[in-house]
């Protein structure tokens, strides 16, 4: 008979993590993040200096741009390597990377998410074309963020006459995961969580590599009534830490919102947006969304598309999805991003990216920081910090149609530039794939062509030369 999971305090469970281990942490922004455990890991390191030299592996970016989430782990000596998808919400980690104090990799969120399953099965890695011709491609930087980072985790290979990327296998020794309830045998359910994340493959990966799984739960119940609700079997769980609701907020934006875990008949409404550049951009982008489309909206400005759709009665015409797993409903915003209001379904994140990577998205509406003459886009770095790509690379490369939304300028600085800092979306590759791509701003709309960026619309009342061309570092093809 297998031994049951050990009931422990956060400090007791964290003490079992050995130095030098690879620690995988699940969650998305704040949803599903084991805040009690990461804060305990920080506390132990500051008190004892151990564990040290850890490798941190995470898929989405868990943090609040300040202290919570993975910011707890941003200490010299605690980490030797970071492999992550999105960095903007954990600026303290980014500061370590930019200061060359840790090895640091930025790989696509969807790749890292699906790679957890390959690691669990001890397969040789993930083979995909996601990331080709971007800064993640080894012909460029291979996703390495600083001079200290030298080991290649991505390689180019040729299979059946096509170029692919292999994201290499790496063992996971510790999984820090979160659920809502555990039963006495350690089985975990996620009834009050707004997403599922990678809890199962992370747990399987740690267990199959002789490691440990530590689960933060809200409470322990006598029995989980439906075995189909179990997201992680107890045989994978080594330690259970009960939070009692402390450091167990549903997201970093809200303690608990029932909208994130129930569905509706589709009659809910959203408050109208005030008139603004944001609303105008959202309204123009919405014109590209067709009846019946399956849609992904990026964080930030693209969220306005859903708001305008609700205001104009169009929400029921298409299905909104989030890369973290929700399908249907309306994506939440801010520090609750990753959840959806009244979703029709919530699946695990690796499965959602399987669907995206296979071409399941009709249209992606995404943000942009910099755009060049060939239509390539940077979202990874800006204003002296590294934000990372998150799910952007998967979505931008695999959706059939794309709309990039941004303001025409950023605090007076050009966004249409001769050379972008990081190629996160490669315009010429999109043309070769046959994608339809628009760039929607508050002043003008551009489309991607085989000859580069073409200006197709300007906002009424603006002057082409003084309001548009004088503020671009290159001259687009003029199509108006």
Active-site residue list = 323
Q: 237: which 2 tokens?
A: 């769980």
Please, which residues have CB within 8 angstroms of residue 21's CB and are 6 or more apart in sequence?
51, 54, 55, 173, 174, 211
Q: Residue 271 CB: number of other CB atoms within 10 A?
A: 8
Query: 């992680």: which residue's tokens?
Result: 232
Question: Which helix (DSSP H) or strand (DSSP E) does residue 351 occupy?
Answer: helix 349-357
Question: CA 267: distance to chain centroid?
Answer: 29
Q: Any residues with CB less than 8 A from the CB of 211 and at least 6 apart, and which?
A: 21, 172, 173, 174, 175
Which H/E stretch holds residue 326? Answer: strand 326-327
Q: Which residue has the tokens 């989030």?
A: 322
Structure tokens at 134: 């971007």
Is the distance from CB of 368 to CB of 405 less than 8 angstroms?
A: yes
The encoded tokens of residue 479 equal 């199509």
Biggest distance spanned by C-alpha atoms of the chain: 77
Structure tokens at 311: 């205001």
Tell me the C-alpha distance between 229 and 249, whole Å: 21
**At CA 197, angle to CA 267 and CA 109, rounded to 5?**
105
Q: Which two tokens stand for residue 58?
A: 């995470």
- Closest by CA position to 142, among listed 125, 166, 118, 159: 166
Give the separation between CA 267 and CA 269, rounded to whole angstroms. Answer: 7
* Contacts of 72 by beta carbon, 8 Å cutoff, 6+ apart: 38, 39, 41, 42
Cα gap 474→480, rounded to integer Å = 17
């Amino acid at each position: 008979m297998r031994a049951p999971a050990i009931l422990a305090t956060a400090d007791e469970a964290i003490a079992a993590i050995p130095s030098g281990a690879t620690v995988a942490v699940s969650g998305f922004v704040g949803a599903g993040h084991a805040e009690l455990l990461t804060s305990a890991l920080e506390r132990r390191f500051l008190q004892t200096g151990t564990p040290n030299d850890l490798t941190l592996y995470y898929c989405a970016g868990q943090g609040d741009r300040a202290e919570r989430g993975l910011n707890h782990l941003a200490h010299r000596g605690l980490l030797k390597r970071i492999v992550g998808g999105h960095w903007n919400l954990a600026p303290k980690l980014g500061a370590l990377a930019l200061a060359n104090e840790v090895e640091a990799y930025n790989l696509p969120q969807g790749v890292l998410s699906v790679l957890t399953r390959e690691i669990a099965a001890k397969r040789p890695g993930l083979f995909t074309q996601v990331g080709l011709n971007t800064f993640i491609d080894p012909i460029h930087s291979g996703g390495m963020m600083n001079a200290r980072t030298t080991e290649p985790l991505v390689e180019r290979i040729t299979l059946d006459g096509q170029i692919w990327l292999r994201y290499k296998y790496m063992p996971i020794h510790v999984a820090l995961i979160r659920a809502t309830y555990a039963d006495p045998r350690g089985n975990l359910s996620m009834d009050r969580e707004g997403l599922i994340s990678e809890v199962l493959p992370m747990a399987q990966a740690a267990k199959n590599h002789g490691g440990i799984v530590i689960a933060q739960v809200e409470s322990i119940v006598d029995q989980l009534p439906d075995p189909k609700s179990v997201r992680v079997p107890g045989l994978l769980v080594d330690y259970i830490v009960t939070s009692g609701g402390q450091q167990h907020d549903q997201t970093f934006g809200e303690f608990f919102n029932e909208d994130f875990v129930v569905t509706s008949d589709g009659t809910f409404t959203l408050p109208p947006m005030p008139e603004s550049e944001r609303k105008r951009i959202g309204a123009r982008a919405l014109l590209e969304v067709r009846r019946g489309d399956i849609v992904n909206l990026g964080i930030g400005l693209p969220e306005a598309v859903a708001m305008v759709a609700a205001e104009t009665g169009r929400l029921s015409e298409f299905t909104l999805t989030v890369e973290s797993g929700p399908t249907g409903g309306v994506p939440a915003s801010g520090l609750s991003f990753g959840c959806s209001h009244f979703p029709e379904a919530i699946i695990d994140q690796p499965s959602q990216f399987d669907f995206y990577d296979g071409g399941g998205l009709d249209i992606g509406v995404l943000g942009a920081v910099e755009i060049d003459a060939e239509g390539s886009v940077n979202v990874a770095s800006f204003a002296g910090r590294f934000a990372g790509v998150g799910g952007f690379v998967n979505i931008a490369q695999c959706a059939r149609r794309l709309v990039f939304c941004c303001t025409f300028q950023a605090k007076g600085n050009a966004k249409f530039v001769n050379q972008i800092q990081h190629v996160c979306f490669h315009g010429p590759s999109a043309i070769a794939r046959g994608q339809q791509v628009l760039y929607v701003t508050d002043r003008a709309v551009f489309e991607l062509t085989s000859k580069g960026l073409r200006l197709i619309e300007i906002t009424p009342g603006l002057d082409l030369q003084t309001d548009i061309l004088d503020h671009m570092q290159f001259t687009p093809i003029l199509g108006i």
